[in-house]
A and B are shown apart, each in its own frame.
Chain A
Amino acid sequence: SQTIHQWPATLVQPVGSPLSLECTVEGTSNPNLYWYRQAAGRGLQLLFYSVGIGQISSEVPQNLSASRPQDRQFILSSKKLLLSDSGFYLCASSETGGGEETQYFGPGTRLLVL
């Protein structure tokens, strides 16, 4: 079964600083990978997804970007953080092919921009 790691677990950053959140996956190959953001008490908003190395699709226009430098590594970045970037960021993974489409989630990163 898949295991999804995210770090850091918590991050406090000043406005205008850069951001890099990392997600790595174990136990599967060539997964689909996803970045979600969740505001306090709210549902999940899909930010980016990737079906392969170097392939990134963005769901919403925003201050953030994503990259997939390796098969099981997914990075969320920003050059200059905004206050509105605060939230809980979740990485998810799903297998490709074979009928197992379920998304499994990592533990998340709490980001507070001050």
Chain B
Amino acid sequence: AQTVTQSQPEMSVQEAETVTLSCTYDTSENNYYLFWYKQPPSRQMILVIRQEAYKQQNATENRFSVNFQKAAKSFSLKISDSQLGDTAMYFCAFMKFNNAGNMLTFGGGTRLMVKP
């Protein structure tokens, strides 16, 4: 079974600064997907970024980028130029490749507060 660990329950950052959220996972699989989801106060879960394990290049979406270290089983999220709207819970998630149900395993989340 896979496990996903987010070791930072809460973090804060000043507006316009950069912050990195940590995620580690445990799996014996070689092919898989990793995701970061954002859950703002509305509680809607929003996909932030996705990484395929077979891709060496780190995924980037505008101000959001990941540092994917496959050997270390680490998948951190970097938010650059933090904005007040980035305040949310952030969840890291793992999906096994070719898993019939496409099921996700979530970490426990990191609450990020962006301060003005």
Chain A residues proximal to chain B, CB less than 8 Å: 32, 34, 38, 41-44, 46, 49, 51, 57, 88, 90, 92, 94, 96, 101-108, 110
Residue of A nearest to B91 (CB): A43
- Once A49-B103, A57-B101 are accepted as A-B contacts, the answer to whether A42 and B44 lie under 8 Å apart by CB is no
On whether the beta carbons of A102 and B47 are closer than 8 Å, the reply is yes
CA distance A42 to B50 in the complex (A): 22
- Are A105 and B45 within 8 A (Cβ)? yes
Decide if A94 touches B106 in the complex (CB within 8 Å): no
Q: Bound complex: CA of A99 vs CA of B47, how far in Å?
A: 17
CB of A75 to closest CB in B, whole Å = 18
Name the prevailing secondary structure of the A interface residues: strand
What residues of B have a CB within 8 angstroms of the CB of A88 in the complex? Answer: 43
Q: Which residues in A have their C-beta under 8 angstroms from that of B111?
A: 41
Interfacial residues of chain B within 87-116, with CB under 8 A of chain A in the complex: 91, 95, 100-104, 106-109, 111
Interface string of B24-53 (1 = CB under 8 A from A): 000000000101010000111111001000
In the complex where A101-B33, A102-B35 touch, is A49 in contact with B101 (Cβ < 8 A)?
Answer: yes
